[in-house]
Amino acid sequence: AAGLATALSSAAMAADGMTVGFSQIGSESGWRAAETSVTKSQAESRGINLKFADAQQKQENQIKAIRGFIAQGVDAILVAPVVATGWDDVLNEAKEANIPVVLLDRGIDGPEDLYLTSVASDQVKEGRVAGQWLVDTVKDKDCKVVELQGTVGSTPAINRKKGFEEAIAGSKNITIIRSQTGDFTRSKGKEVMEGFLKAENGGKGICALYAHNDDMAVGAIQAIKDAGLKPGTDILVVSIDAVPDIFTAIAAGEANATVELTPNMAGPAFDALAAFKKDGTVPPKFIITESKLYTAADDPKGEYERRKGLGY
């Protein structure tokens, strides 16, 4: 993540010497792998001792890891919560132990006093940006959409669906005809898209694919090609993350648009923890990252190269 190396302010350096536990979900997507590598390099550049635990997509593993961090007496805990519910007990234990918790990239259903701050995108907005792109692109044309949802019960899956539906609500010509989870993975995205294509007369009636992340879109693009159709032309493809591989697909005309999610959630999280440690400064409850739309008009080859310097 050389591209993220920045001169750190003295406030940010207050994190120097802290021990921080990080309960990561797993490595289901290219974006997730980049978030892990960026978090590690951000910790290193600030002199933070990062204890990393990969939960292999299981909430029970995350809860175990958090309990382990509490037992070790870490200074703070970062957690990317795989699903929204079921965190109250373990986060109360952290609170009782006076260990600040920062949520990364996904939210939870639970009292806001269980965490110091949450660093994440506005996921409803991401869905809206993707949906608005489709509305603007198809105009009055009838458009049947298939949707690949993220992990069931996760806030990005819930909110990205909601935002997209909001954006297309005023366009009676656009309808979601099938919607199923692909669990944010490339392999599941491909498999579920194959099912959609089969169920929809080989895909002839499908106008667009909306995938809650780029990895599922990349898997689905392969399924569309295998079915003898042209992704990006016969079936429009819009997704979320802005990972390097989607820019390769956009440059080749096989995907149309993506909404950027920065993999650098840890930088703002460590800044907030450093200020809190230094003089008790309480950060805003929600630190919201940007959601920028990229299409073929935005130099996809250049964006691919730029991503390579961002920790991907």
Which residues lie near ligand AHR (CB under 6 A)?
A: 28-29, 31-32, 105-106, 156, 184, 213, 215, 240-241, 261
Q: From CA 156, how far away is CA 124, in angstroms rounded?
A: 8
Smallest gap from Cβ 184 to ligand AHR, in A, equals 4
Which C-beta is closer to ligand AHR: that of 130 or that of 207? 130
CA-to-CA dists, residue 131 to 31, 136, 174, angstroms: 21, 9, 10
Measured from the CB atom, the residue of 42 and 154 that comes closer to ligand AHR is 154
Q: Toward ligand AHR, which CB reaches closer, 36 or 256?
A: 36
Smaller CB distance to ligand AHR: residue 106 or 307? 106
Complex with ligand AHR: residue 75 or 105, whichever CB lies closer: 105
Please report how close the Cβ of residue 267 comes to ligand AHR at its closest, in angstroms: 16
Based on CB atoms, which residue is closest to ligand AHR, 43 or 261?
A: 261
- In the complex, the smallest distance separating the C-beta of residue 265 from ligand AHR, rounded to whole angstroms, is 9
**Considering beta carbons, is residue 50 or 240 the nearer one to ligand AHR?**
240
Longest CA–CA separation in the chain, Å: 63
Minimal distance, residue 118 CB to ligand AHR, in Å:
12
Name the minimum Å distance from CB 155 to ligand AHR. 7
**In the complex, least distance from residue 137 CB atom to ligand AHR, rounded to whole angstroms:** 22
Question: Min. distance of Cβ 264 from ligand AHR in angstroms?
Answer: 13
